[in-house]
Amino acid sequence: MHELSIAQNIMDIVNEQLSVNNLSRVTKIGMRIGKLAAIEPASLKFCFEIIARDTKAEGAVLEIDSVPIRYRCNDCQLDFILDELDFICPNCMRNRLEIISGRELQVVEMEAY
């Protein structure tokens, strides 16, 4: 299960941050997840809840900011957002699209004490 290993990674990051900063408890974790990362937020929250049980992250809120897939056309420079994977520019109909965002999978903030 994809989400389970990601939840484990989040837990590793949290533990590392807590120990580096000498903190004992995390209450909130903010994440940015691109649509291309193919993560189901509800499923990730569920997996994280299970992994966090009886740890310093038990009960912590996982806030997920979903990042849309953004493209830039290398021919006409059009910058646009599309919720699916595509390779054709809607303006010039050519296929030199570059994905600018949508692959994110990162912990961006943490509230701990």
Task: Enumerate binding residues for Zn ion (CB under 5 A).
Answer: 73, 75-76, 78, 89, 91-92
Identify which of residues 46 and 80 has a Cβ nearer to Zn ion in the complex.
80
Identify which of residues 42 and 76 has a Cβ nearer to Zn ion in the complex.
76
Closest distance of CB 87 from Zn ion, Å:
11
Closest distance of CB 90 from Zn ion, Å:
8
- Nearest partner of 27 among 71, 74, 73, 59, judged by Cα: 59
- Nearest partner of 112 among 4, 54, 26, judged by Cα: 26
Closest distance of CB 71 from Zn ion, Å:
9
Identify which of residues 67 and 89 has a Cβ nearer to Zn ion in the complex.
89
Q: How many residues does the chain have?
A: 113
